[in-house]
Amino acid sequence: MMKLLKLVAVAVALGGALVVGGVPFVGAQAAETSSEVKAGQLPKFKRTTAELYVTAKEAGDAMMADPEIILLDVRTIPEVAFVGAPNKAYNVPFLRLITATGPEDLEGSLEMVPNEDFVAGVERVVKSLGKDKSSKIFVMCRSGGRSAAAVNVLHKQGYSQVYSVVDGFEGASDKLGRRTVNGWKNSGHDWTYKLNKDQQYRRPIR
C-alpha cells in the first residue's frame, strides 16, 4: 500500500497519471475512464453524442477505484425487480411500461413509452448525492441500446461525463439465446434483486 501511495505521489509531482488496474489516476481523483470500446466498433444504435463508452466489467472496476462515480440503471422497474441490478445502481427508467389500450392490442398486453420524468428523475438522484452535471455518470440498460438513447438525452441537457455501458446488465445472447456473453451479470461484480429504498425509482404522483 505504501509503495502504491509513493507511486501516486511521484505521478502527481511529475504532472502525470498513474494507471492502476486499467483505470488512470491523477492524485486521489480518477482521471478519464479508460476503455477498450471504440465508437467505430459499435452499431449505430449504441453510439452516443457524448462519445464515452465502457463495458460493464470496466464500469465495475472503475467504480471500485472511484466510489464517486454514479451508476444509473435506466431499465423499467419490473426488469430491475425480476432480473436484478448492480448493488450501487440508481434506477431511473428511460422508458416505462403501460397497459396497451388500442383496439388492435391483445387484452392485457404491455407497451413501452417514454418516461416524461426521466430527466427530472436523474436530476433528483444527482442532487441527492451532492453531485452536478459535470459528475461522471455510467448509464446502463439491458444490453446497450436504451442506455445510448438515455445518454443522448442527458448530454443534450448539459451532462458532460455520461458514459454508456455498451453491454448493459444482461449482455449479449449466446448461440442458445441465453445472455451469458458479457454484461454486468457476467462480469463478476456484485448485483442484487432488491435495491435499497433510496436507489429505487418512485414515479411522481400527478
What does the pLDDT look like over 100-114, one tens digit per residue?
666 555 556 778 899
Cβ proximity of 138 and 151 under 8 Å: no
Q: 25 pLDDT exceeds 50?
A: no
Name the superfamily (CATH) of residues 35-199: Rhodanese-like domain (3.40.250.10)
Q: d(Cα 50, Cα 201) in Å, to the nearest integer?
A: 25
Copy the grid coordinates of residue 41.
466498433
Identity of the amino acid at 78? P
What is the pLDDT, as a whole number, of residue 204?
83
Mean pLDDT across 29-44: 79
Mean pLDDT across 69-76: 98
Cβ proximity of 132 and 110 under 8 Å: no
Per-residue pLDDT band for 164 (boundaries 50, 70, 90) equals: very high
Cα dist. 22→15, 19, 54, 103 in Å? 19, 6, 12, 54
The reported pTM is 0.80
Instruction: Tell me, letter by letter, the H, E, C secondary structure of 17-48.
Output: CEEECCEEEECCEECCCCCCCCHHHCCHHHCC
Q: d(Cα 32, Cα 50) in Å, to the nearest integer?
A: 13
Q: 159 pLDDT exceeds 60?
A: yes
User: Beta-strand (E) ranges in 70-135?
Assistant: 70-73, 85-86, 89-91, 95-99, 110-114
What is the pLDDT, as a whole number, of residue 35?
87
Q: d(Cα 56, Cα 196) in Å, to the nearest integer?
A: 21
What is the pLDDT, as a whole number, of residue 120?
97
Q: d(Cα 200, Cα 167) in Å, to the nearest integer?
A: 22
Per-residue pLDDT band for 86 (boundaries 50, 70, 90) equals: very high
Q: 158 pLDDT exceeds 90?
A: yes
Per-domain residue ranges for the chain? 1-31, 35-199
Q: d(Cα 52, Cα 160) in Å, to the nearest integer?
A: 10
User: Which among 122, 120, 80, 84 has a CA at the least distance from the CA of 97?
Assistant: 80
Q: 203 pLDDT exceeds 70?
A: yes
